[in-house]
Every structure is written in C-alpha cells, then in structure tokens.
Amino acid sequence: MLEIPLSALTAQVFTGLVIGMVFVLLAIGLSLIFGLMTVVNFAHGSLYMLGAYFGVFLIGLTGNFWLGLVLAPLMVGALGLLIERVLIRRLYGRSPDDPLLLTFGLSLILVEGVKLVWGKIGLTLDPPRAFAGALNLGFMTFPAYRLFVIVVTAAVLVGLWLFLARTNVGLIIRAGSRDPLMVRALGIDLSRIWLLVFGIGTALAGLAGILAGPMRGVYAEMGVTMVIESFVVVVVGGMGSLVGAVVAGILMGQVVGLTTFFAPKLAEIMVFVVMAVVLLVRPSGLFGETGLLE
C-alpha cells in the first residue's frame, strides 16, 4: 500500500468539500427551477459564468470584493427574471423539451456575447485581501479563501432552508412543486412564484460563479462542463429534491476531490461512473420520487 500522509488526505477532503459547495449551489438552483416549473435550464452554466464576469467587472469598477460578491448574483438573478418573463414564459404548456432547447440556444448567445464584450482570453479574479493567505487549523493548513467559500455556501443554504420552511412564500413554492393545479385552485398566482423561483435559482448560479472565479479562473467556457456535471448531480440526488441536490453535490465533490488525489486521470470520468451506478441501483436518484414528469 501507498503511504499517504493523513494531513494531505484531510486537505483533499476539504478541497472536495469546496468543489462540492459549488456543485450544491448550481444543483439546488437547477433543482428548484425544475421542481416548480419542470424547466431544465441549460443556460445555468452560462449564468454561472456571467456571475464571475459581472464580479470581475464590479470589483474592477469599485475596488471592493464584497460589493461584487453581493451585486453580481443580484445582477444575474435580474437577468434570470428577464429570461423567464420574456422567453421561457412563452413555452409553458408546450413539451418540456422546448425550454431545454431554448435555454441551449440562449447559452450559445451568452457565451459568444461574453467573448464579444470581454474578449476570448480568460480573466483573473483575486480573492479579497483578508482571505488571501492560508490558515493553520492545527491539523492542516488550508487556503483561507476556500474555507470562506464553504462558510458562505453553508450560510446561504441555511438561509434558503429558512425561507422555504418558515415563510409563506416558501410554503407556496413547496406546495407548487407538489401540486400546481391545487395551488392555483386556492387562488394563488403561480406565475409570480415561477418568476421569483427562476430569479433565485439563477442568482444562486451567479453566486457560485463569483465564488468559483478566484479558484478556477474566469473564462467564457467555464460554465459548459459545470452545467453538465451539475445535471449529473441533480440526476444522482433525484430531480426536484433539494436535500438530494445538497447530498449529491457534496458526494460528487468528494468523488472529484479524492479521484484527483489518487488517480488524477480518472477525475472527470468517475463522476459519470458514480452516476451510472446510482442509476442502476436507484433509477430515481438518491432522494428522488418516481413518476415526476415521466
């Protein structure tokens, strides 16, 4: 057996957790949008990419990372609202394939549009000065910014959970994903809820983008593989299940992190292998209900 220093392994587990957090933010947005609206948003990866670009732009403009961190996701969310209202709304009632096709076209437009505005060469996004170095945790040292990403994501998830579990709007969202017909029969205007959910989901993608920017670089194609891997996370977790998105996101982060450590060449492949195994054992995903949109 290979001798592996424990601290290196722990650090890798934490790295996997950071990757997992980005997956979770993307998958939870996808899952939220899918669960309520049965729309698969192919442009999710492009909005993630836009979050990073908006971040670079805002931080360059104001010189303040924190302002960018707050405003960039809001800008992406606003764009999401626009996309839902102007484009996707027209497709309700048609085949669920149609929104997927439309957002696919949209993702091409966004990627090429970003290249037109910011150029084809990638940009760099520096982490805030307060989190520039590494932190000694006693049992290992770890880049401070990555710990920050874990904390921010955890805080956002708790906030989202409180919103869905404790507020009236959250209640309507959960009810709407169970039985939209009944919710409408109760006199609730679901179209505004759809708009809101699309905004929240896309803002989460934007947040994932600006958080990932300092770690992975900012370039026009950065969302392409991410959206495919997020699809895999959603499939593994169970479509429309938020708990599933969180668990599967963290699981897939570990899969990527640990295979990168032990067998780097297999890192990209293992995600899909895990997906195939889950599909064979539990076709509806870890937390999925059968029969959703089939």
Binding site for another protein (CB under 8 A): 34, 38, 40, 87, 90-94, 96-98, 100-102, 104-109, 111-113, 115-116, 224-225, 228, 231-232, 234-235, 239, 265-266, 268-269, 272-273, 275-276, 279-280, 283-284, 293-294
- Spatial distance between the Cα atoms of 41 and 223, rounded to a whole number of angstroms: 13
State the minimum distance, in angstroms, from the CB of residue 235 to another protein.
Answer: 6
By beta-carbon proximity to another protein, the closer residue of 202 and 284 is: 284
Task: Pick between residue 130 and residue 266 the one whose CB is nearest to another protein.
Answer: 266
Q: Quote the least distance from Cβ 92 to another protein, whole Å.
A: 7
Q: How does DSSP classify residue 126?
A: P
Cβ of residue 98: shortest distance to another protein, in angstroms?
6
Is the CB of 120 or the CB of 159 nearer to another protein? Answer: 120
Closest CB 231 distance from another protein, rounded Å: 4
Nearer to another protein, 152 or 224 (CB): 224
Tally of residues, the chain: 294
Whole-number Å distance between alpha carbons of 219 and 239: 29
- Amino acid sitting at position 144: A
Q: Distance (Å, rounded) from C-alpha 192 to C-alpha 197?
A: 9
Beta-carbon count within 10 A of 101 CB: 13
Asked if residues 236 and 246 have their Cβ atoms less than 8 Å apart, the reply is: no
Min dist CB 257 to another protein, Å, is: 17
Compare residues 102 and 149 and give the one whose CB is closer to another protein: 102
**What is the C-alpha to C-alpha distance for residues 148 and 107, in angstroms, rounded to an integer?**
29
Rounded CA-CA distance 169/172 in Å is 5
